[in-house]
Amino acid sequence: MKGDCVKHSTGNNPEMHNQNAKQRQLGEYRVNNYGKPLTTNQSLKVSGDENSLKAGVRGPTLLEDFHLREKITHFDHERIPERVVHARGYAAHGEFVLHKCMKKYTTAKFLHEVGKVTPLFTRFSTVVGSRGSTETARDVRGFAVKFYTEEGNYDLVGNNIPVFFIQDAIKFPDLIHAAKPEPQNEFPQAATAHDTFWDFVANNQESAHMIMWTMSDRAIPVNFRKMQGFGVHTFRFVNSEGKAHFVKFHWKPRLGIHSLVWDEAQKIGGKDPDFHRRDLYESIEAKNYPKYDLGVQIIREEDEFMFDFDILDATKIWPEEIVPVEIIGTMTLNRNVDNVFAETEQVAFHPGNVVPGIDFTNDPLLQGRLFSYLDTQLLRLGGPNFAEIPINRPVCPFHNNQRDGFSRQRIDVGQVSYHKNSLADNTPSPTPVDKGGYEHYQEKVEGHVIRAGSPSFDDHFSQARLFWNSMAPYEKQHIIDAFSFEVGKVQSQSVRQQVVDMFCHVDSGLSAAIANAVGVKPPECTPADTTASSPALSMENTVFVPETLKVAILIGEGFDSAVIRNAVQSLRNESVTIDIVSEKLGTIKGTAGKTAIANQTFITASPVLYDSILVGGGASNNSAEFDSNMKNYIEETWKHYKPIAFTTEGSRYIAETSVQEGPGIIVEKKVDDFYCAYINALAKQRFWERNIYK
C-alpha cells in the first residue's frame, strides 16, 4: 500500500491554512454593528429611523420612502419555510481530530493524517415537532455534522437512533404525514401519541425495531452532550486501489449516554422548552466543550451476505459484538453560533455531500434521501445558490459554470460559462481521479426493472426482539410505560388491538402488558423463542461521571456555612455546575458571619432542571412556605431517581417527605466522607433500584 500513515506535525500544516481560510471566509460576513452608523442595505446613511416619510406631520405616508419599504419588506420576508422534519434544532461549531489513519480503507484526506484537525458544524434536532415546539418531547433526535474538508464539504447526516422506521424512501412522506399533527384538527404537536401514527406502525410492520428504540429512554435524552449519534445507513469506503468496504458511522459521547424519565421530560417541557439548546449553549460558554468519539464498523465487500440480516436494510443494526466499533477520531464542539438564523437555520445538510473515498450503497432509503435533501434546500433557501451562504461554503475554492438564480452572491467574471470551450482553455476543467477527482464506485449492477423490495428485508422482528432482550429490567419497564402512554392516547380500539398483536411478535409479555394498560384483548400469537441479546444496546453499558452535572444547593438563613463552602469546593473540583437556590436572590446569611449568594429562587428554578440537589437547611421568616418549597424539591428529585445529599441540618426533611434512606441518599451525619460519597452518587446519576413509594 502506497503512502504510509504519518503523524501530524505543527509546522507547515496545510490544514491550519484551511482553518485560517475558514476564519477569513466567515470573517467577511461577521459584522458587529456596535458603534456604527445606521444605513440601508445599500449602505446609504439614514437620518432618521423613528418616523416614516409623510406629506405633512399628520399626512399620508409616501410610497417614495425607500427606507420604510426596505425595512418592512425585509421584515415581511424574515421567515423562511421551516424544515418539514427536524425543524426544531440547535447547533455549534467545532473541530474533528483524527486519531487513527484510515488510508487503508479510504482516499478521504481528512481521514489520513493522525492529528489532522478538520473544522465542522453540528446541528441537533427533534424530528416531528415544529420550530416552536418543546425540546424534551419523546422523539428521534437528528445528529448532523458538516465537515469542512480540504476536498470539499462532507455531511454525515444521521440520528441518535441507529435504525429507521421504513426501508424504502418512497414511504417517507407517508411516515411523516402519519406522525405529524392530524390534519382535521392540527394536534397533537411534537407527539406521536395519536391514532394516525400508530395506525401507520401497525400497518407497516417494518417499523417494529425502530419503535422499540423510540419507546425506550433513547427518545428522551437528558441533553445533546449525552446523546449517541449514528449515520444510520450503510456507506462505502473506497481506497486508492479501488477496493471498497462497507461502513457504518457512530458518534459516542465522552460523558456517556443518559436520558430523562418521562414525567421529568414532560415537566421540563413546561418549565423550560429550550432546555436542550440552553444546556448546549451554556456548556460551550463555560468551556465545558462536548466531545464525541467517531467510530466506524467495517465489513469487507466479500462478506456482504454472511449475516442473518441484510446489511443494506436501514431497519437493522450491525450488532457490535459481531462487528466491533473502531474509534478513529474525536469531535469537540467549542464555539457557539453568532447568529442562529444565519447559521443554524440556513445550514443545508445533504447526505450526497461526500468527498473522494466515501460513496453510497444501494440502501433504498439512502437512495431516496440523496434526492430529497437537495430538493428540500431549493425550496427552503430560495433557489440553487444556497451553497454560497457562509455557513454552507466549503473552505476550499470551488469553480464551475453554474450561473444566476435567486440570491446569487458570487460575481463570476469572463465570457465563458460552458464546457467544453476554447475561449478559456477549456476551464474550469475536470480533475483526473489520480489527482483527487471524485469517482463513483464501479459496482456491477444488473437486473430487471421492478417495483419491489428484496426478500432479504422481510424480517421485521428479530432485531426488535434482540433490542428488548438486551434491556435492563428498568429499561423494559420504561418501554412498557411508553407504549402504555402512547397507545393509550389512541382513540381507535381497532388500532390499539393491532399494535398489541403486532408486538406480540417481539415479546408476549411486552404485548400482554400493553394490552392490559390500553384496554384491549391479550395478544394471540407465539413469538419466536430466542434469548439473543446485544449488551451494547443497553444504556447500563455507558460512561458514568459527575463532570458537568448540575446541582442545586438549597439553603435558607442560618445555613451551616462551613459545610456548604466545602461542598461547593468539592463539587467544583469535579467540574460540577452549581446553583445556590433560596427564597430570594442575593445574599443569604449563614453561620460564623459567612454568607452565600443565591443566584436562583425556588420560583425561578425547578427541581426537574437539576441532576441532583443538596439540601443545606436553614430557615426563613415565612417558615411554612420555605419548608413547602424545600419538600417540593426533595419529592421531585426523589421521584426521578436522582441522588440527594442532606447536610445534618437538612436531614430533618427526610422524615417529612417520601424519601427513604438507601441508594442515592447521602446524609452528612451518617457517612465519614460526606463530600466524596455525594460525588460518587452523582456519577451514577440515577438509582433505579430505589423504591420511590413508601
pLDDT at 13 over 50: no
Selecting from 2.60.40.790, 2.30.130.10, 2.40.180.10, 3.30.1280.10, what CATH number does the domain 89-392 have? 2.40.180.10
- DSSP annotation string for 584-640: SSEEEEBGGG-EEEE-EETTTS-GGGSSEEEEEE-B-SSHHHHHHHHHHHHHHHHHT
Q: Return the C-alpha cell found at 631.
A: 419538600
Residue pair 501/511 in contact by the 8 Å Cβ criterion: yes
Measured between alpha carbons, how far is 85 from 62 in angstroms, rounded to an integer? 42
Mean pLDDT of 613-638: 95
User: CB neighbours (10 Å) of residue 4?
Assistant: 7
Per-residue pLDDT, 17: 44
**Catalytic position from the list 86, 112, 209, 245:** 86
Per-residue pLDDT, 693: 52
Residue pair 621/656 in contact by the 8 Å Cβ criterion: no
Q: Tell me, what amino acid is at 246? A: F
pLDDT at 21 over 50: no
- DSSP annotation string for 18-62: HHHHHHHHHHTT----TTPPPB-TT--B-S-SSS--BSSTTSPBP
Q: What angle do CA 157, 161, 164 make, to 5 degrees?
A: 80
pLDDT tens digits, one per residue of 342-370: 999 999 999 999 999 999 999 999 999 99
Least confident of 361-365, 408-412, 627-631: 408-412
Answer yes or no: CATH 1.20.1370.20 is held by domain 467-537.
yes
User: CB neighbours (10 Å) of residue 454?
Assistant: 13
Pairwise pLDDT comparison (609 vs 7), residue with the higher score: 609
Measured between alpha carbons, how far is 90 from 274 in angstroms, rounded to an integer? 10
The helix/strand/coil state of 221 is: strand
Among candidates 98, 91, 147, 155, which has minimal Cα distance to 119?
A: 147
pLDDT band at 189 (very low <50, low <70, confident <90, very high): very high
Which stretch of DSSP H or E encloses residue 213?
helix 208-214
**Catalytic position from the list 18, 112, 153, 159:** 159
Return the CA Rg of the chain: 28
pLDDT at 410 over 90: no
Residue pair 345/52 in contact by the 8 Å Cβ criterion: no
Per-residue pLDDT, 583: 96
Residue pair 464/483 in contact by the 8 Å Cβ criterion: no
Residue pair 585/598 in contact by the 8 Å Cβ criterion: yes
Per-residue pLDDT, 14: 44
First to last CA, the chain: 67
Measured between alpha carbons, how far is 300 from 298 in angstroms, rounded to an integer? 7
At the top level of CATH, the class of 550-684 is alpha beta
Please give the backbone phi and psi of residue 226, each rounded to the nearest 5 degrees, phi first: -120, 40
Q: Where are the alpha helices (DSSP H) in 352-392?
A: 364-380
pLDDT tens digits, one per residue of 440-489: 999 888 888 888 899 999 999 999 999 999 999 999 999 999 999 999 99
Measured between alpha carbons, how far is 126 from 278 in angstroms, rounded to an integer? 15
Whether 258 is catalytic: no
Whether 67 is catalytic: no
Among candidates 467, 168, 461, which has minimal Cα distance to 319?
A: 467
Measured between alpha carbons, how far is 2 from 23 in angstroms, rounded to an integer? 33
Strand-strand pairing, 235-238 and 244-253: antiparallel
Among candidates 229, 286, 363, which has minimal Cα distance to 547?
A: 286
Least confident of 7-16, 217-226, 666-675: 7-16
β-bridge mates for residue 147, sequence order: 120, 154
Residues 6 or more apart whose CB falls under 8 angstroms from that of 208 comprise: 460, 461, 464, 502, 503, 505, 506
Query: Helices 172-179 and 364-380: crossing angle, nearest 10°?
Result: 70
Residue pair 640/264 in contact by the 8 Å Cβ criterion: yes
Pairwise pLDDT comparison (399 vs 157), residue with the higher score: 157
Among candidates 228, 205, 238, which has minimal Cα distance to 158?
A: 228
Per-residue pLDDT, 131: 95
List the chain domain ranges. 89-392, 467-537, 550-684
Question: What does pTM read for this prediction?
Answer: 0.92
pLDDT tens digits, one per residue of 239-256: 999 999 999 999 999 999
Pairwise pLDDT comparison (688 vs 29), residue with the higher score: 688
User: CB neighbours (10 Å) of residue 603?
Assistant: 10
Measured between alpha carbons, how far is 684 from 401 in angstroms, rounded to an integer? 58
